[in-house]
Amino acid sequence: MATDQVLLDVFAEARRTWDDLVSLQPDIKAASSHLTADDLAELEKRVGAHYEAVQSLANALERVWSASHR
């Protein structure tokens, strides 16, 4: 079903952005030294990308849920 593929694609993007976010390991960097301005800028960028991906996933889930309960 096309809807399933869209949902899987949106989920994959949310997972990819999560992986990008956690690969920064800001908690480990912060424990060994201070985070730099560049570290914080990159963290902000990746958090924003993940936020948008999760919002897209939530919207896709809502559309699938609504369509299946008509």
35 secondary structure, DSSP code: P
Q: List the domain range (segments joined by +) for residue 13.
A: 2-68
Residue 50, both tokens: 């993940």
Q: How many domains does the chain have?
A: 1
Q: Is pLDDT at 1 greater than 60 in this prediction?
A: no
Cα 13–Cα 11–Cα 52 angle in degrees, nearest 5: 55
Q: Kindly state the average pLDDT of the residues 2-9.
A: 87
Length of the chain: 70
What is the tens place of the pLDDT at every residue in 20-57?
A: 999 999 888 889 888 899 999 999 999 999 999 999 99
pLDDT at 15: 98
